[in-house]
Amino acid sequence: MIKTSLGRHVFGLSAIAFGITCFVWRDFGAPWRQIDAFGNVPHREVFVYIVAAIEILGGIAIQWRKTARAGALTLSIIYFIFALLWIPTIVSHPRAYYGYGHFFEQFSVVLGPLIIWATLSTSNLRRSAALSRFAYTFFGICVVSFALEQLFYLSPTASFVPKWIPPGQMFWAIATTVFFALAAIALLSGIFGLLAARLVTAMIMGFQLLIWLPAPFSDPHKLMNWAGNAENLAIAGAAWIVADYLGQNYSGAFRRTEQHEASQVCGYSA
């Protein structure tokens, strides 16, 4: 069971931000624009308000331990639905990584609350542990996709980097791509997985502070600038939840090792 919960709170704030963005703009944010592929959806504005309300209520619920499981499950389901909406794009353009990249971005946001839902369960602990490991493994696969997406679209990635950061935009595009690749190897192999999760969280939060947070100030009338903030914060929150999960497992394993060694010493002394 996760004791540290900063990731959960950050993730909840991102969900609230998504909902507020939808309410204000009366439209879906950047990660949900794939619904446009279905054309003019009837009563679209009503649908926007319903989703926004679910986002805000889920984001609030996940902040408190008693309601965290319900909020986490709600958010996981709504994000999963929107992740699935990228499947038509993947099918229609199978050779372009655009659809795959956005699917895994959205799917990574599904996995954070799924870990919260599983780890806060008090029944069937074996199933909860298996579900947490499943979510953790697939988050590692999502990080693989982050690296591939940046690699395939290196120039657009570089254009996001502020020009004032030395030594240059392309340097940081390549560097962060390598960092994602190394983190994915660490997460999937289990070697330095906790460190990798923490560094990925720090890097994505760096994107938040350096790229997305200033964006609305430069162009407050652009929906992408607001929705991008919420999306990036959601991915950071999911990564933070993974780090919390691994940190708790590491602490538990360390305590069990200490207890085992102490028992061996006591048995030897006796």
Per the domain annotation, does 265 fall within a domain?
no
Torsion of Cα atoms, 106 then 108 then 201 then 233, to 10°? 30
Structurally, the chain folds into a number of domains equal to 1
Per the domain annotation, does 267 fall within a domain?
no
pLDDT confidence of residue 263? 46
pLDDT confidence of residue 122? 81
pLDDT confidence of residue 29? 60
Q: Find the angle CA(206)-CA(207)-CA(212) to the nearest 5 degrees.
A: 125
CA distance 125 to 116: 13
Per the domain annotation, does 98 fall within a domain?
yes
pLDDT confidence of residue 261? 40
pLDDT confidence of residue 264? 46
Question: Percent of the chain having pLDDT more than 70?
Answer: 85
Classify 168 as helix, strand or coil.
Answer: coil
Query: Cβ-count burial of 265 within 10 angstroms (0-12 exposed, 13-18 middle, 19+ buried)?
Result: exposed
> Each residue of 46-76: b (16+ CB within 10 Å) or e?
eebeebbebbbbbbbbbbeeeebbebbbbbb
CA distance 266 to 270: 6
pLDDT digit string, tens, across residues 234-253: 999 999 999 999 998 865 44
Per the domain annotation, does 205 fall within a domain?
yes
Per the domain annotation, does 167 fall within a domain?
yes
CA distance 175 to 117: 34
pLDDT digit string, tens, across residues 30-62: 555 556 655 666 777 788 889 899 999 999 999
Per the domain annotation, does 69 fall within a domain?
yes
pLDDT confidence of residue 265? 42
Split the chain (270 residues) into runs of 10 and give each run's mean pLDDT: 74 95 77 59 78 95 95 96 90 94 96 96 87 96 98 96 96 98 97 97 97 94 90 97 90 45 44
CA distance 53 to 176: 35
> What pTM was estimated for this model as a whole?
0.89
> Each residue of 172-191: b (16+ CB within 10 Å) or e?
bbbebbebbbbbbbbbbeee
Classify 80 as helix, strand or coil.
Answer: helix
Per the domain annotation, does 195 fall within a domain?
yes
Can you give the residue range of the structural domain that contains 56?
Answer: 6-258
Per the domain annotation, does 93 fall within a domain?
yes
